[in-house]
Structure formats: structure tokens, C-alpha cells
Chains A and B, each alone.
Chain A
């Protein structure tokens, strides 16, 4: 079967324009009607080191980095040395012979020497436009219309350098076309697809969902959310607060929410660790709050520019004692858009903290797999009242109600004053240990208040989506996965299917609270189970076992900092099935 997709990896040192070159390639593809997934192979530095940008594109919905590398574009010798052995049989290496010595080529790989530097120097004193030149050559190799190339270049670069860039790109295109002709052609169409990261999609979804206060402390890979919010704050009317630390961030969000703003904040694991105490306070004071944890590889400061799904245990066990929390782990940018609005609604309707778990691979990787987004999602602010029961002094803010959700009043409302209490309290918000300490009534109230908070989860559970199957209905093996890892798994399932292997996947995106009975039934109805996630201990499988009693026996666990590749899933599934067969034999 002819390949209908293409994978490209552009690499060099930081400062070579790898990021913008990669984005340009992505833009060229998305303007050609292709679906794309990208990934930044970053290092945590501004200049030097080794960085790369990987693009997977096809006329069908790609969702991961794909299989291997079809086109390697190398701007440096060291990048060549590191990556050329990963190029697929039948693949190509595009390089500048004056910079890179392309030796030790793997079998079936064709070198394509293009004078990237020479062409770039024609249009600027420095060879900075090598990225555009490389993209131009690639566009020619893939038989993409030259017009698409110039449009994409125009869109990417500012007006001061625009002309040179367009000319350099076109020059490289012509050079390649004359020298090598069209090497491969995909199914292009004149549809332009939106290209965004999960962080951008989430920010969009948040403002579409009525978010009007966003706070953060800079931390990779969550920073692009606050960057987006800040650059749109004026036109959209969002108050953006950059705190002195994550403690200040979460406490400000809680204050803003208490005052009546739709508020959220974002961070990565290290910052989330600092926020935990306050998230407990949000639950105790029943103040709505949405916190985004964009996971990176840890522990501690870990690998700041690499991916991981290692924060699950932390968010399952935030802060002291038990309190209600909601955890959503969107699989894609598309889902991140809707997750933000949902999270804000759930937080306000049930007055609980909601945590959205993203990770580096989707929040910094770009995707053009987003469909038309619905910006008119419902906004549900829950029980905000202007009249309620008072004792003439205080409003019963923590009233015990049949559904366990109390009406809340906002500061400024006449006669409805209350104290939001982080200590255990009565219905008015008076401190139990001070006012009723040691009294029987206080013991009962403590229990009832505790139950009231926890039982809100029964209502939330009804709003949570069950896990979703992908692949054939009948399967010998089911891959159990969550969040962004569902993406490479999907491509693996497709590949396995083409190889005649009966496997499917079960993808979780709404993690907590879980309908344990339903999930147990689903899991028990599956064949063999293979857990796939990006952490060392299989945190999600551990959680599933605790909730449902079902053990996921085999695992593909990745903790290198790199995302899971579909080929790894394919191999694991085959391995698991082979072992099963030999065990039976």
C-alpha cells in the first residue's frame, strides 16, 4: 500500500530558526488541506544545543508523530549524526553539502544536497533564512503549489524581512524543482485548516466559556496560555495577573472567584505542587476554581521542555484529607477547547476545584485537527442568588441543601454577608472549633458539612463522559490509555488493523470522579489489557485498580521525556498477544 502520509523532521541548533521553519512547514501543509501533528524537540535554552521540529501530515486525521522519518532536513552535522539512522527505508535526507557530511547512510535512504546556505546568503548578510530555504525545497519535493509556499511565508514573517524570505523560499523551490523534480505527492486540497496547540485551544475555550480573570506565574510548558491571554486581554476584556509565585496566583484566583469573576489559572507540575494547599482551601470554602496543570517531565524541575503524564497521582491526592475535585485530561486541542468551558461550568455549578491535565506533547505541539469550534457553549454559573436565608446578620452561605450545593452570594449584594471559612464551619460560615468546640452539635455538623462537600461528586459524576473505544468492536487486546497518549495509540491501532491484528483502545479523558461500576463492566468486557501512559509506575492503571478492582497486567510505560511513538505501541501490542499465545500453547 502506498504511503498516504509524510513525516518531516527539521533540526539544527537553537537560534537557527528551527521553530519558525517548522511552523512554516506546518503552515504549508495546513494550507494544502492536510491534517498535521507537530512536536517540538526542544532544549531548555535560547541559543545553541540541539533542537528539532517534527511534522506528521496526511489527508486523514493524523494524531501523532507517525512512523519514523520520511524527510530529514538537517541544518547541522550534529543533528545529522543524531537522527539520520532514524530515517525510514525509502526516505530522504535534505542537507547542505557545505555544512553537513552525509555519510553512513542507512539502506534505502536518498541524500538530497541543496545549497541552503548559499541561497540564504543571497537575500541576507547572515544565513538566517536557511529555514525558509529548506521549507521551499521541501515544498518542491512534495509537489506543493509554489503559490501556497509564498502565501505561507508571507503569513509567517513580519513585513521588514518579508520580501527576502519570499524570494529565498521561491528560489529554493525552483532550484529543487529543476534539480530533483517532484519526489512524492500527497492528496492536497485547497482547504486551509486551523493550526493550534492545546494551550491555545484551551485559552480560546476559556474565553468562549466566559473566563474573565486569568492568573499565572511563568512556567514551561504552560506559559503560552498566559501569553495568549495577555495578548488578547485588551480586546476581550480579560484581566491577566502575573503573580510573584504560584501561591499568589491561586490565592488571587480564589479571591477573584469569591468576588464573582469567572477565574482560572495555569501552571506546570512544580507550580501545581505549590498551589495544593490553596486548592484544598477552595474546596473547603466552596469557591469555584479551575487550574490547568500542563505536565512536563519531573520530578522536581525535571525536564522542563519534555513531556510526561506523571502528575496524575498528585492531582488525585492534592493537599490534606479528602475533598471533592474534578479531573479532566483532554486528548486533543479540540477537546481542550471544550474542556475549558466545561471546567468553568462544573467549577461554578458545584463550587469545586476543577483540574485540567494537559501535557507538553499537545500543549506545545501544534495540530491542525481542530474542526469548526462552537463559541456559543452554554455558560452556567450555578446558584448565584441575591436573596436567601439570613439571620439578620449573616447569609447561610453553606446551607445544607438536598443536592448538597449551597446558594452563594457575591460581595456587593445587600444583606447577604458571610465569611468564607477555611476552617470547618457551620451553615453561616462560623468556625466550628471556636464557636461550638467540644459540643455534640459540632460533631454532627462537622460530619454533615463533610458529607455535603463530598456528595457533590455524585452530581458531578453524572456530567462526566465515559471512556471511549477506538478501533474495531471485537478485539483480542484493548489498550487502556488516557489524555494525550490516546493519539499515538490511535495511529498504532490503525497500523495494527492494516496488519490484521485485532486490537482497539479505550481512551479516558474525564478521569475523576469515575463511574466505577460502569468502567468495571467495560473493562471486564475487554480481552487482554495493555496500559499505555507516560510515567514510570502506571499511575492511571493504579488508579483504575483502586476504583474498579480491575488489574491492567501489561504496560508500555514511557518516562524518557519523549512522547510515545505509534511504533512502540504496535510492538508492545504484538508482544503482549504473542506472549498470550505462547502461554496458552
Chain B
């Protein structure tokens, strides 16, 4: 496959990362995209090693910041497909401010979060999505804090595409990623991706998940989407909400930057432009 890397993942056997990687690769391939036109930004943690395992342009940066790197890439070159792959610690903890603002501004990036409700690579501390009562190294008596629901929070922030997948359902996940990439604007695909070492919830998740597309559910009603993303104990997966009624930030930028792509514009000023600029200073 065009997106195959020669570097093999160093994830633990059974890690949800494999499912996400496979789904992302087949989604990009299925959409007929070329590796040269795809840029994947990531942060820190097991899941953020992903760009090395997929043949495309990649930026493996800092904890919590990949969304901002991605927005820089997309703004500079809007013809690229820009994807962020990172974990729940990255995107719902340290970097959540950036995610909220990306959703609010409808930045045209695709955010795929490997959500395992634990800090894995740092050996098992509580994350923003850890369950109430979840025992971790930092919550030996069980977490006393309610978990963040990223989907409802981002719906509130104005996200135009909100979906949840499961790494154990790679076929559906491929479809969700395809839809996210095709979406006009910011797209969140929260992927329940259990950590087999520190928080193995596979059995629990498997017993709770069901697919929205098997139900009579249409992802065009925001109020209904709020109800659905907060549903318990069932764990719906699929697209909760989608609207293409809002322009993306990158589309709107065209009105403010004279329609010039930053990557195309590196040039000296023309004599006339320089004279016009200097006139202001007299």
C-alpha cells in the first residue's frame, strides 16, 4: 500500500493503536489520496508515534500541541489533507484549549484521538477521561473526579463533525475517518482504544458498544447529538453530528489574505506596493 512505512510500530501486542493505524491507512487509500498530499501531526505518547508508521509527511512534536502545528500546516497549504493523531492526555488534557478553539474556528483539520482513559507511556496515571472510581498510579483509591466528555464539550464549542469509533471495529473506523477527511471543516473522531497494559477495558467496551448506523439515527440534529453522546451505560459509536453549513477558517482566510496561499507568496514587493506602503509614514 502506498502509505506503508518500513518502520514497524513499537506498540504492545493487542494495542488499539494497530486498529487505528490500519483504519487510517485504508481510509486515506480508499479516498485515493497520495502520501505526498497528506500531513500528519502528533504529540507525545504511544499513540503519537503513529506518523513514523505511515508513509506521509509527518510532524511528531510536543505534548498537547499537534492541533496547532496542524492548523499552521493547513493554513499555509490548504491543498493538503491534515490529520492529527494523538492521545486523550494530549488532546483532552494539556492541549484541550487548542482543540476547543480549533472546533470553534472550524479549522479544516481531522483530529483522531486514541482515547484509552490513561496515560500509557508514562506508565499509568489518571487522564482527563479516566472513569470515576478508576484505579491508577495517581488514584490508588479510585479517581474521585468525573471524566471529561470530549464529544459533548466539543459539540458545545461548535464542532461541525463529532464521531466516536472503537479500535476493535476497524471497518467502521475506516468509514468514520473517511467521512472525517471528506468533511468540510473540523472533525473529531474520538476512538475508544483500550490500553492492554494499564487500562484494559476491551471486554467492557465490547459489551457496551453499538453502532449508530444500525439505529434510526440521523446526525443532523445537534440537540439529539447532545443526548446521544451522553448516553450511558450503552456506548454508541458512529457519527453523532455533522454539519457543513459553516465555512472553515481556511476558507474565510481567503477574504483576509487576498486569496494568496502563504506557500505561494514568497516574493519581494513590487515598486508600486513599496511606494504605497511608505506613503503612510509621511
Seen from chain A, the residues whose Cβ lies within 8 Å of a Cβ on chain B are: 30-31, 192-196, 200, 204, 207-208, 210, 212-213, 215, 230, 232-241, 243-245, 247-248, 251-263, 277-278, 281, 285, 370, 373, 375-377, 379, 381, 391-394, 410-423, 429-431, 434-435
User: Chain B contacts of A200 at CB under 8 A?
Assistant: 281
**In the docked arrangement, what's the CA distance between A552 and B4, Å?**
60
Q: A236-B273, A240-B256, A393-B5 are in contact. Are A208 and B268 (CB under 8 A)?
A: yes
CA distance A524 to B156 in the complex (A): 66
- The contact of B61 among A213, A236, A285, A381, by CB within 8 Å, is A285
- Chain A contacts for B138, CB-based, 8 A: none
Find out whether the CB atom of B282 lies under 8 angstroms from the CB atom of A256. Answer: no
Find chain A residues with CB under 8 A from B98 CB. Answer: 244, 247-248, 251
Given contacts A247-B98, A255-B41, 16 further A-B contacts (CB under 8 A): A207-B277, A208-B269, A232-B277, A238-B257, A253-B72, A255-B72, A256-B76, A258-B59, A261-B263, A281-B61, A375-B274, A379-B268, A420-B58, A420-B60, A431-B52, A431-B60
| A204–B265 alpha-carbon span in the complex (Å) | 16
CB contact under 8 A between A256 and B268, given known A200-B281, A422-B62: no
Closest CB of chain A to B164's CB: distance in Å?
A: 25
Q: Are A255 and B269 in contact (CB under 8 A)?
A: no
Separation of A248 and B97 alpha carbons in the complex (Å): 9
Interface of chain B residues 228 through 282 with chain A (CB within 8 A): 253, 255-260, 262-263, 265-269, 271, 273-274, 276-278, 281-282
CA of A421 to CA of B5, assembled, Å: 16
Contact at A411–B39, with CB atoms within 8 Å?
yes
The residues in B between 51 and 89 inclusive whose CB is less than 8 angstroms from any CB of A are 51-52, 55-62, 65, 68-77, 79-80
Q: Report the separation of the CA atoms of residues A412 and B271 in the bound assembly, to the nearest whole angstrom.
A: 32
Q: List chain A residues, Cβ under 8 A from B274.
A: 208, 373, 375
- Interface pair A259/B77, CB less than 8 Å apart: yes
State in angstroms the CA–CA spacing of A256 and B79 once bound together.
13
Interface size class of B (residues with CB under 8 A): 35 or more
Q: Is the CB of A412 within 8 A of B80?
A: yes
A212 and B75 CA atoms in complex are apart in Å by 11
Q: Does B115 contact A (CB under 8 A)?
A: no
Q: Is the CB of B256 within 8 A of A234?
A: yes
Nearest opposing residue in chain A for B250, CB measure? A239
Chain A residues contacting B258 (CB-CB under 8 Å) are 233-237
8 contacts between A and B (CB under 8 A): A239-B75, A241-B75, A244-B98, A278-B65, A285-B59, A373-B274, A411-B57, A421-B52
Contact of A259 among B49, B60, B72, B266 (CB under 8 A): B72
- B10 proximal to A (CB < 8 A): yes
Complex Cα distance, B264 from A259, in Å, reads: 11
Interface assignment of B222: CB less than 8 Å from any CB of chain A? no
Pair B72/A263 contact, Cβ less than 8 Å? yes
Q: Are the CB atoms of B58 and A254 closer together than 8 Å?
A: no
Tell whether, in the assembled complex, residue B57 and residue A418 are in contact, meaning their CB atoms are under 8 Å apart.
Answer: yes
* Residues of chain B having any CB pair with chain A under 8 Å: 4-7, 10, 34-37, 39, 41, 44, 49, 51-52, 55-62, 65, 68-77, 79-80, 97-98, 101, 253, 255-260, 262-263, 265-269, 271, 273-274, 276-278, 281-282
Using Cβ atoms and an 8 Å threshold, which residues of chain A touch B79?
412
Q: Is the CB of A255 within 8 A of B256?
A: no
**A256 B75 Cβ-Cβ under 8 A:** yes
A375–B268 CB distance below 8 A = yes
Q: How far is the CB of A32 from the nearest CB of chain B, in Å?
A: 12
B37, B69, B271 — most chain A CB neighbours (10 Å)? B69
Residue of A whose beta carbon sits closest to that of B65: A251
Residue from A232, A260, A278, A419 whose CB has the most chain B CB atoms within 10 Å? A419
Verify B281–A237 contact, CB threshold 8 A: no
Q: How far is the CA of A193 from the CA of B62 in the complex (A)?
A: 47
Residue in contact with A278 in the complex, picked from B7, B36, B62, B74, CB distance below 8 Å: B62
Whether the Cβ atoms of B56 and A434 lie closer than 8 Å is no
> Are the C-beta atoms of A419 and B51 separated by less than 8 Å?
yes
The 7 closest A-B pairs by CB, nearest first: A255-B72, A237-B260, A251-B68, A261-B262, A419-B58, A252-B72, A259-B76
Give Cα A277–Cα B62 distance, bound, in whole angstroms. 8
Residues of B near A256 (CB, < 8 A) are 72-73, 75-76, 262
Complex CA distance for A53 and B4, rounded to whole angstroms: 64
